[in-house]
């Protein structure tokens, strides 16, 4: 029954996308047979009034009809140009996550249920929401105590959003599984794994305690950084469905005239923004992954304040070295080294030729060196690099794609502040310092320290590892004499799987019939 409902929801989504002209606006290159026929049918179903509308407008109308789960899906896919293509990813990034507000009384009830204390006790003043998105909405409030009165922002999870998302998630997994079975070329992108990533990231985003933890971690990392901060978290008034943080009094970073009128220098802000992002990425391996202009403010002191940390990115030490060495290799025009870094990191399969890969890298790097520094985009460089790596079977690296997407956004905001923004000049102090600390002699010391730490941990676990090895040896000996045995639970699972397989044909027929009836009632 769950699968039938998932098929029905998928059918409704396909119907809405077709009627709003989204499917008809997608490229049809490479479609053959039934896929091409379905594409043409979708074009016939599109409403005539949409012929002059651009794809972004069509997407906006479609996701508004489909609801908040599809808004989150589109936001997530906007971070994966490797999956949907750069053009569609750009259109998806233009979607505004703005929804109608829900009643203040409901928000108060959610806060009370989450924290266990009435809103009137928590806050001396609690106003109606001023902004609402697919996951939560924000209320201005005040807290009065012995230290005085302070203004705070209270973010409350939307009622029913978790149930709605989990229901729609079945459809997302169904699409991913169908793609892997019917489109062999999609398997390299691992669509089911992408659906799992969407599930995990949205679960995190729907738990306000985790967003509060992200704010707290970034605050610790940046406490000594110049001109960048995030709002402080009020943990006493934070729970699963609510996070309370300091109110941000500032000017949106996109309001250039207001920034200038307040005495701020947009050129300086552009450099601070990109240097802060690179510092978080390379030094800390933890960065705000949704740094668009709506989430960035400038306070009276000229400090950039970032809000809304529902989406974050992490890079391990290997990925940070990979990124730094690539950037350094392009700067020095050492394409062989850039290619070797990909192989050393294990990103490109070893059966490929390093020299051939270096040749492909050169095709990216040489045109860049013929341009002025102001026109060279680091984000574009990484985008082209990921496109080339597809030719050499480099599997999707979600953490690197998240980095590249965020860099595109941050670099775009920097160029909005300063049209003549020199990415390389602004980045050099941070990247150069990190390279000196981590890719020079200091790297040997760091690696030695990490190696000794790992060896010490391994020594601590030696007794447990020895016991496991001994147990495994006994089990292998027993299997060699008695054969492979299943426990009762495994045998029962195999039986159920066989039963499901025999019923799958009948279920498929019922699904087709019910889907046809459902669509007919939507006409």
Residue 140 main-chain phi, psi, to 5 deg: -75, 145
Q: In terms of DSSP H, where are the helices of 333-440?
A: 335-344, 354-369, 378-390, 398-417, 423-438
Q: Where do we find the tokens 């690539």?
A: 326
* CA 257 from centre of chain: 32
Give dist(CA 408, CA 415) in Å, integer: 11
Q: Which of 290, 334, 353, 487 is catalytic?
A: 290
Angle in degrees, CA 49, 50, 53, rounded to 5: 130
Distance of CA 12 to CAs 67, 108, 147, 516, Å? Answer: 12, 34, 55, 11
List of residues 6+ apart from 422 with CB closer than 8 A? 373, 374
Assigned token pair, 16? 């809405």
Q: Which of 190, 196, 167 is nearest to 7 (CA)?
A: 167
Give dist(CA 205, CA 79) in Å, integer: 15
Angle in degrees, CA 356, 359, 365, rounded to 5: 150
Give dist(CA 516, CA 512) in Å, integer: 6
- Let me know: does 91 contact 55? Beta carbons within 8 Å: yes
Distance of CA 47 to CAs 16, 91, 193, 350, 516, Å? Answer: 11, 20, 34, 51, 20
Give dist(CA 188, CA 165) in Å, integer: 26
Q: Is 29 noted as a catalytic residue in this protein?
A: no
- Let me know: does 446 contact 399? Beta carbons within 8 Å: no
Report CA dihedral (104, 109, 115, 117) to the nearest 10 degrees.
100
- Let me know: does 100 contact 132? Beta carbons within 8 Å: yes
The Cβ of residue 508 has, within 10 Å, a number of other Cβ atoms equal to 12
Residue 125's DSSP bridge partners are 142
List of residues 6+ apart from 64 with CB closer than 8 A? none
Residue 323 main-chain phi, psi, to 5 deg: -60, -45
Just list the catalytic residues.
290
């Amino acid at each position: 029954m769950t699968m039938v409902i998932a098929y029905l929801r998928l059918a409704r989504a396909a119907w809405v996308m077709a009627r709003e002209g989204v499917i008809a606006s997608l490229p049809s290159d490479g479609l053959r047979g039934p896929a091409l026929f379905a594409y043409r049918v979708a074009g016939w179903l599109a409403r005539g009034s949409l012929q002059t509308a651009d794809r972004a407008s069509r997407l906006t109308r479609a996701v508004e009809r489909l609801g908040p789960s599809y808004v989150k899906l589109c936001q997530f896919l906007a971070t994966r140009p490797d999956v949907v293509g750069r053009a569609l990813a750009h259109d998806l990034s233009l979607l505004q996550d703005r929804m109608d507000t829900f009643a203040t009384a409901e928000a108060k009830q959610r806060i009370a249920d989450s924290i266990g204390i009435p809103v009137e006790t928590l806050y001396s003043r609690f106003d109606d929401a001023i902004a609402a998105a697919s996951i939560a909405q924000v209320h201005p409030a005040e807290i009065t105590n012995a230290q005085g009165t302070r203004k705070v922002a209270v973010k409350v999870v939307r009622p029913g959003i978790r149930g709605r998302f989990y229901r729609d998630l079945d459809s997302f997994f169904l699409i991913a599984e169908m793609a892997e079975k019917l489109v062999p070329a999609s398997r390299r992108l691992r669509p089911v794994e992408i659906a799992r990533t969407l599930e995990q990231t949205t679960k995190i985003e729907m738990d306000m305690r985790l967003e509060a933890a992200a704010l707290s971690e970034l605050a610790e990392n940046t406490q000594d950084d110049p001109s960048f901060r995030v709002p402080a978290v009020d943990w006493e008034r934070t729970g699963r469905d609510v996070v309370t943080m300091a109110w941000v009094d500032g000017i949106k970073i996109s309001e250039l005239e207001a920034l200038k009128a307040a005495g701020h220098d947009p050129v300086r802000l552009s450099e601070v923004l990109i240097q802060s992002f690179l510092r978080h990425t390379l030094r800390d391996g933890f960065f705000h992954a949704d740094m668009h202009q709506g989430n960035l403010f400038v306070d009276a002191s000229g400090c950039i304040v970032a809000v809304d940390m529902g989406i974050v990115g992490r890079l391990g030490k290997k990925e940070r070295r990979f990124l730094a060495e690539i950037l350094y290799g392009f700067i020095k025009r050492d394409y062989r080294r850039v290619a070797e870094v990909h192989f050393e990191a294990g990103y490109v399969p070893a059966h490929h030729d390093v020299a051939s890969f270096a040749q492909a890298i050169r095709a990216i790097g040489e045109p860049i060196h013929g341009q002025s520094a102001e026109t060279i985009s680091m984000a574009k460089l990484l985008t082209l690099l990921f496109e080339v790596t597809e030719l050499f079977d480099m599997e999707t690296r979600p953490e690197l794609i998240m980095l590249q997407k965020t860099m595109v956004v941050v670099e775009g905001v920097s160029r909005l502040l300063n049209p003549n923004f020199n990415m390389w000049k602004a980045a050099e102090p941070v990247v150069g310092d990190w390279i000196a600390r981590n890719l020079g002699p200091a790297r040997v010391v760091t690696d030695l320290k990490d190696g000794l730490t790992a060896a010490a941990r391994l020594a601590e676990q030696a007794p447990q590892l020895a016991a496991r090895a001994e147990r495994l040896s006994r089990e292998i000996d027993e299997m060699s004499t008695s054969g492979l045995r299943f426990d009762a639970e495994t045998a029962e699972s195999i039986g159920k799987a066989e039963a499901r397989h025999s019923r799958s044909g009948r279920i498929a027929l019922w699904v087709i019939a019910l889907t046809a009836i459902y669509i007919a009632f939507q006409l």
